[in-house]
Structure 1
Amino acid sequence: MGRVIGFELSSQEPEKAAEFYSKVFGWEVAEPQWDYWAVSTGKDVKPGINGGIGKGPNDYPHGTRLQIEVDSIDAAISKAKENGAMILREKMEFDDFYLAYLVDTVGIGFGLIQRK
């Protein structure tokens, strides 16, 4: 089962977005890595998820995406494609995880994450 483990806010002005959410909601925003600012939305004593703010790519310049953790990113991508999803970013490899971006059949963007 895929579990929502985070969110990503996309913006062409991520520094400005980070400042806004930090001031309005008190979110802790980390120093950026690869145009991505990790966000902590509160202490882990209450239910909730953390996420990040990233510089949105040209094909997804603004918006919010859920990040869904899966056991096999290749299987999840295949199943999503079989059910009508569009791939925005094929599987990318990072130090600790794989990541891909898709759009579902009604236009909602989401990310898939598989930890190594």
Structure 2
Amino acid sequence: MNPVIHFEMPYQDATRAAEFYSTAFGWQTQALGPAMSNYVVVNTCDTADGRPTQPGTINGGFFEQTPDSPAQQPSVVIAVDNMQAAIAKVISADCSILGEPMHIPGVGSYVSFLDTEGNRIAMLQALRPA
């Protein structure tokens, strides 16, 4: 099975979103800046080496809403072992891949797709530990 390992939610105002989730739920946020498309990493639980320490918990991130990107809605990220094989399975199910896989430095390969119900979901093939 391929587990859900991350969530993502769009924002219009990164500071406002970070402050809300920090105040309401105690989440910790880290803005990555323009070099990383203004992505905001969100920790919802204790972590070690960037990974949740409590089984069953996940962390996530906030992405900036832009007028030229499709399906900007909350979504989940699914771990895959082989990005190309996973893409082939998604396509064979008559679903759409949204762009090309992108490399996230220190993390791995990432791509979003639309599932059979029109939901934006993403896949991540994590880098192998050295």
Partner of 2:50: none
Q: Matches of 2:31 and 2:11 in 1, distance apart?
A: 16
Partner of 2:60: 51
- Segments of structure 2 that go 5 or more residues without pairing to the other structure are 47-52
Q: What does 1:101-116 correspond to in 2, within 5 Å? A: 101-116=112-127
Closer/same/farther in 2, CA of residues 45 and 98 from structure 1, 3 Å limit: closer
The TM-score, its normalising length taken from structure 1, stands at 0.88
> 1:38 corresponds to which letter in structure 2?
V
The alignment status of 1:89 with 2:108, answered yes or no, reads: no
The Cα shift of 1:60 comes to 3.7
The answer to whether the 8 A contact 1:11-1:63 is kept is no
1:20-73 deviation line (CA, Å, top 9, x unaligned): 111111100013241111111022346311111111343247421101110011
The TM-score, its normalising length taken from structure 2, stands at 0.80
Partner of 1:39: 42
Of 70, 79, 87, which residue of structure 1 is paired with 2:80?
A: 70
The Cα shift of 1:7 comes to 0.4
How many residues were matched structurally? 116
The answer to whether the 8 A contact 1:27-1:42 is kept is yes
% same residue: 32
The Cα shift of 1:99 comes to 0.5
The answer to whether the 8 A contact 1:29-1:39 is kept is yes
User: SS state of the match for residue 85, structure 2?
Assistant: helix
Q: Matches of 1:60 and 1:11 in 2, distance apart?
A: 14
Cα-Cα RMSD: 1.7
